[in-house]
Amino acid sequence: MRRRDFAGLVALAPTMLIGTRQARAQTRFVRVATAGSGGNFYRLGSGLAAIWNDTVPGVRASIQATGGSVQNVDLLAEREVEISYLAGNVAELAFKNEGQFAQRPKGRYAGLRAIATLYPNPQWFLAMSWAPEIRSVRDLRGKRVSVGMQGSQGEAVWRMIMGHLGWTYRDIRAEYTVHQAAIDQVRNRQIDAVIWPDAPGSASVQQMIDTGFARLIDIDEDIIAFMDSEGLDYPYTVPAEHVPGGKPFRTFASPALLATHDQVPADLVHQLTKAMFDNKARLEQVHPLAKFMTLEDALSGLPFPLHPGAERFFKEIGRA
């Protein structure tokens, strides 16, 4: 290399270093808490992170598999993630320091902020053919019951149901499984019943029905009324077209939502919210649940205040 060329490179080096630092400074990392791999939150989060990486300049989004909503509210509270999928009932209990969050430090979850309601998340209840005596939730006493992963929304809801019934975990033989693990337990005749939330048209519920062993049972009306009185859960009938077997299913549901915290910049949340709704069709290709994500219902049943960035987006489109 000629001395003149070398001298030119040396002169450029500080400029190149500054440019590299500026590029790094402009990159904004967005960590998205989902739930167990293979579940709805995980699949939707994967699709959403890809959309943000492709359409929002400077954003590098990544997803984290987690134990579900209970863990996710703590990740938000500790600022370990920027975005999280949450079940509305768990989110509300955390924000109010009630229920299983009553012993947590007051104000721990005060910084939680909403982006949008995404879809209804109904509670499913299936019993197996080798347990024909199960016709009600109350018939689960002494049975092997899949209640969801420990710390998940499913387990949190089951704890509320047990409180209503006056039960403890001594009254059932709990299995902390969900999705594929629970499906395998059905196939291997290792459980008697499944009771946890999943979206309308749940692939996991469909696969359990397809084994020929599982049957759906409507949730007890007094349990529906109790859950309705406790917070964001509301009576819900899953439409026939989203139920294996084509018959409406009577239950209760909680809104699933996308959330953030108050330290995430408003301009970033505005860009993320806009990109999500602008690319809804692409998200539907990742998971059909995205069809339930509508601007009309986006502000329904939110358990805590909107983030200013999301609020700006909804005001721009005349929804807030």
- pLDDT tens digits along 125-141: 999 999 999 999 999 99
Stretch 224-235: mean pLDDT: 90
Stretch 40-47: mean pLDDT: 93
* DSSP code per residue over 232-251: S-EEEEE-GGGSTTS--EEE
- Confidence tier at 228 by pLDDT (50, 70, 90): very high
- pLDDT tens digits along 58-117: 999 999 999 889 999 999 999 999 999 998 988 999 999 998 899 999 999 999 999 999
> Within 13 Å of residue 218, how many CA atoms lie on the same side as its CB?
12
Instruction: Tell me the three state secondary structure of residue 33.
Output: strand
How much is the pLDDT for 128?
A: 98
How much is the pLDDT for 23?
A: 44
Inform me whether the pLDDT recorded for 177 exceeds 90.
Answer: yes
How much is the pLDDT for 169?
A: 97
Distance from chain centroid for Cα 228? 20
Domains delineated in the chain: 3-119+255-316 (3.40.190.10), 121-254 (3.40.190.10)
- Joined together, the tokens standing for residue 4 give 């003149």
Stretch 151-155: mean pLDDT: 84
Please report, in angstroms and rounded to a whole number, the separation of the first and last CA atoms in the chain: 63
How much is the pLDDT for 20?
A: 45
- pLDDT tens digits along 197-206: 998 888 899 9
- pLDDT tens digits along 68-85: 899 999 999 999 999 999
> Closest Cα to residue 85, out of 127, 26, 143, 41?
41
Stretch 144-170: mean pLDDT: 93
With a pLDDT cut of 90, the percent of the chain lying above it is 75
Q: Which residues contact 184 (CB under 8 A, 6 or more apart)?
A: 190
